[in-house]
Chains A and B, each alone.
Chain A
Amino acid sequence: MDWLGEAGLSAPESVNTTLDLPCGTSVLRLGQQEVLLTAPPGGSGARLRELRNAWHDSELPAKGYEAYRDEGWAWFVISGPAAPALMRRISMADLRPESLKPAHLAQTRALHLDAVVARFDRFGAVSYDIFFDIASAGFALDVLTETAAGTNADFQMAALHPAE
């Protein structure tokens, strides 16, 4: 938190909420002293790399520690009018749009894994960002594609590649 303040970046006030910075970076508050910064999907990630370098270079004693989420976590986005229906089949938590509102997140289980589920409403529709263990990404993808096929809602798979 101290470093964010020093760098002039705002952070969401409450745990389990998010906000978007003017530069496009999203800030997800996962704990009193834990935030996750994400670049806009499909972007180059340049701004985020800048922020990371700035954090590395900072000599602030209480700047915190990095948890290597860019390496340890996989990141999926489920979006569209049928997104809530798919979420009902992959998680037992109450992730209904009226319960998990935009700019809020839930730390819970989905796809049989510990997961962070954040409501961002990307791509002009209800959408959920899901973060979970990278080593389980293959398994999660199996579950997602099989479950999505069962909804008969014509879900398509796309990759969130950086634009390089």
Chain B
Amino acid sequence: MKLLTCPVNGPRNITEFQYLGPVRAASAEQPEQLIEALFYAENPLGVMREWWRHTPSNTVFIAERHTVSDQIAATYLPNRKPA
């Protein structure tokens, strides 16, 4: 079972987490971006930025995951991306 590292709590089994979707550039609040925000899913062959939540501690954070190897390159709280 995959391990995911919560930036606050450390490595935990993936079952402790809830997937919240990809980090999207398009905003569903802007009428001209609505369709893209709702229906266009980013699907890169490479690193994807995703929102995740650690349910026991309610920590919401971003993970950078490679879509081919499924490796998690980094996890960080938003606004606190490491250099």
Contacts and interface: CB of A to CB of B under 8 A. Distances in A.
Q: Do chains A and B touch in the complex (CB under 8 A)?
A: yes
Interface of A: 15-16, 30-31, 92-93, 106-109, 114-116
A88 B82 CA distance: 34
A109 B54 CA distance: 11
Interface of B: 8-9, 12-13, 15-16, 54-57
B13 A30 contact: no
Nearest to B12: A108
B56 A108 contact: yes
B13 A116 contact: no
Contacts of B15: 92, 109
A118 to B, nearest CB: 13
A30 B16 contact: no
A93 B12 CA distance: 7
Contacts of B16: 108-109, 114
Contacts of A108: 9, 12, 16, 56
A114 B12 CA distance: 12
Contacts of B13: 92-93, 109
Nearest to B8: A15
A127 to B, nearest CB: 20
Contact of A116 (B12, B54, B55, B56): B56
Contacts of A109: 13, 15-16, 56
A116 B16 CA distance: 13
Contacts of B56: 107-109, 114-116
Nearest to A113: B56
Nearest to B15: A109
Given A107-B56, A108-B56, A114-B56, 8 more contacts: A15-B8, A30-B57, A31-B8, A92-B13, A92-B15, A93-B13, A107-B54, A108-B12
Contacts of A106: 9
26 contacts: A15-B8, A16-B8, A16-B9, A30-B57, A31-B8, A31-B57, A92-B13, A92-B15, A93-B13, A106-B9, A107-B9, A107-B54, A107-B56, A107-B57, A108-B9, A108-B12, A108-B16, A108-B56, A109-B13, A109-B16, A109-B56, A114-B16, A114-B55, A114-B56, A115-B56, A116-B56
